Amino acid sequence: METQRPAESSARKTPFHDVFAELGGEFVEYIGGYWPDHFGDVPAEYRLQREHFGVFDASAINKWDFRGPDATVAAQRVHTNNIAGEAIGQVRYGAFCDENGLMIDDGTVFKLADDHLWVMTNFNTRAEHFAAATSDLDVEIEDITPTLPHLFFQGPESRAALAKVTDADLDSLGYFRFLPDQVKVAGVPVWLSRTGVSGELGYEFFCRPEDAEELLRNLIRDTGVKPYGLQAIEPVRIESGVIVTETDYPEHTYTPFDLSFDRLVDLEQDFLGRDALAKLDAEPRRKCLTTLRLSSSELPEYSTPILDSGNEVGTLTSPTVSPLYGPIGLAILDVELARPGREVQIGDGTATGVVNDTHPAYDPEKRRPRS
């Protein structure tokens, strides 16, 4: 196989950057790209996602093109979900593991054809891992992040807004499905996907770099959509139970089972770490991902240890002050303690947490994005 590694470079500005800058965006550098951090009114940007609809530059999410006769086998080799059985036009989410079954990343796989898939990761350092895992296969793997910019278009009013600017059949586009052939949105060719991280009805648009600015300007003109940034995404994704590599779990530390990814691990498939996970599958679960209600709006730091009777029993991975629920946080916790109403100590004891009645806190059955 051949693998084209991403060149070492400073953070990239996306093809949407200048338009978002004109809209008042402030940016942060993270994992090789510039991300919109906020547009001056974070509470309003939060409400766009939960009550209306908004647009976000997600172009810096890392994307890998798998092509060739063994492309599906290769994508399956590095992903825990059932990629072999994935239909064309389907998106599947799951974990990327090392040979010991420990997670190094999480992300989605888009199947455009049996010999062509997009694999999306949080981090841009996966070229060597993918190459080593698929060295015996006939597949070419290329980092296409710079050439496939994309937007989140999220919120409960997103379908109605999108219907005004596309002839695509939105009613028949199911949750975690996409259109493998381009369609026009606001007069611009895009790949249209019904996915996102908001926990709401929402879409993603992928386009060519030369079409990006026109797409965004036309969307703003024709739908009135407003932008939001990372600061507004953070409470949304914590409410919805969405995790991020390194923020919620260090690489090579936890299994997918420790993060409650059981349904995203298909042990009938051939993937890296499968044998290790098959052995663990027969054993009782040790850890799980849950949501804690926190005692104070003075939030502990990310990755603060959780204690019980002086013993470390987990980690508060991502705290936030939720506009809906007040102070909450995602936590990796010993299974026997993850019972609704169970109180635990956060860090040095100046704060406590109570296991929430549901995980995630917001719409645990995912009825809203499926609507």
pLDDT of residue 349: 79
Q: What is the mean pLDDT of the chain?
A: 96
Q: For the residues 221-240, what does the mean pLDDT come to?
A: 98
Other C-beta atoms closer than 10 Å to the C-beta of 332 total 24
Residues 6+ apart with CB under 8 A from 366: 175, 199
Q: What are the tens digits of pLDDT across the range 194-218?
A: 999 999 999 999 999 999 999 999 9
pLDDT, tens digit (0-9, with 9 covering 90-100), for 274-287: 999 999 999 999 99
The answer, yes or no, to whether residue 8 has pLDDT greater than 60, is no
For residue 325, what are the β-bridge partners?
none
Q: What is the pLDDT of residue 12?
A: 86
Q: What is the mean pLDDT of residues 251-277?
A: 98
Residue 109 to residue 77: CA distance in whole angstroms: 12
pLDDT for the residue 5: 44
Structural domains of the chain in order of their starting residue, each with its CATH number: 2-59+149-237 (3.30.1360.120), 242-355 (2.40.30.110)
Read off the pLDDT of residues 98-137 as tens digits, 9 standing for 90 and up. Answer: 999 999 999 999 999 999 999 999 988 899 999 999 999 9
Give mean pLDDT, residues 299-314: 95
Query: For residue 350, what pLDDT band results from cuts at 50, 70 and 90?
Result: confident
Q: How confident is the model at residue 87 (pLDDT cuts 50, 70, 90)?
A: very high
Predicted pLDDT of residue 348: 87
Reported pTM: 0.95
- Band the pLDDT of 181: cuts 50, 70, 90: very high
- 10 pLDDT above the threshold of 80: no
pLDDT at residue 131, rounded to an integer? 97
Q: What is the arithmetic mean of pLDDT over 35-39?
A: 97
Work out the percent of the chain whose per-residue pLDDT is above 90: 94
pLDDT bracket for residue 369 (50, 70, 90): very high
Neighbours of 182 (CB within 10 A): 16
pLDDT class of 365 with cuts at 50, 70, 90: very high
The pLDDT value recorded for residue 2 is 44
Q: What's the pLDDT at 152?
A: 98
- Residue 7 above 50 pLDDT? no
Mean pLDDT along residues 34-40: 97
189: preceding bond cis by omega (within 30 degrees): no
Q: What pLDDT, on a 0 to 100 scale, did the predictor assign at position 1?
A: 47
Residue 4 pLDDT more than 60? Answer: no
Between residues 310 and 225, the one the model is more confident about: 225
